[in-house]
Amino acid sequence: MEITLITGPAGVGKSTLCWEMSLQLATANVAHTVIETDELDRVFPRPSAEDLARIRSGTTDVSSLNLAAIWSTYRALGHTRLIMSGVMVHLEFDRRWILAAIPDATITVIRLIASEPTLMARLVQREIGSGADEQAQRSLRQARRMANQDANGVFVVPTDGKTPTELAEVILRKIGWLNVRPE
């Protein structure tokens, strides 16, 4: 079981990249699944630790429960490759809840980065409504925090000036999921 975990601050292009990676894999007839982690815990009110422990003892994160449930279906269908996207500011914590859901997985982490002007330009296109300013500030905080984290074992991929098609091709080549022409 292989997971390619696409991380980076909000607005860096994770979702767009995942869609492009999926398209390229589908075009090459390579079986895979895609899960955006934002959708694993989009619930109000948030379940308490007690609520979650009643479902599975020791569980404190609804994301892990939902990922396990979704993955059980994909596994039953024979899938062995998963592209996941999420901000993942606390990478070691995130690895733990992912592996709690899919214990036999190996995780390759791809961290997307962009300059602050690029992030802001992308967020202006994406974010509307009353939360746009706060999202922009949150994204900048995320980018700065990630820039100061250890990148050992993490593939850091700059996105400025690159198209999703180019980025997907580079990443799929790097992880070996797609045989493409050598450069």
Quick one: the chain helix, strand, coil %, rounded to 5? 50, 15, 35
Most confident of 2-6, 92-96, 174-178: 2-6
Total number of domains constituting the chain? 1
Answer for the pair 170, 157: CB distance below 8 angstroms, yes or no: yes
Once rounded to an integer, what is the mean pLDDT over residues 85-100? 92
Confidence of residue 173 (pLDDT cuts 50, 70, 90): very high
* Inside any domain, residue 182: no
The span from the CA of 54 to the CA of 129, in Å, is 37
Cα-based angle 163, 114, 123 (whole degrees, multiple of 5): 85
* Inside any domain, residue 48: yes
Range of the domain at 160: 2-175
Domain with residue 77: its CATH number is 3.40.50.300
> CA 15 → CA 38, 46, 61, 117, distances in Å?
10, 24, 22, 19
Worst-scoring range by mean pLDDT, 3-12, 139-148, 170-179? 139-148
- What pLDDT is attached to residue 181? 44
pLDDT digits (tens, 9 = 90+) for 20-63: 999 999 999 999 999 999 999 999 999 998 999 899 888 878 99
* Inside any domain, residue 133: yes
Q: How many CB atoms lie within 10 A of CB 95?
A: 16
Output b/e per residue, 96-119; b: 16+ Cβ within 10 A: ebbebbbeebebbbbbbbbeeebb
- What pLDDT is attached to residue 160? 94
* Inside any domain, residue 150: yes
- What pLDDT is attached to residue 183? 36
* Inside any domain, residue 139: yes
* Inside any domain, residue 180: no
* Inside any domain, residue 145: yes
- What pLDDT is attached to residue 127? 65
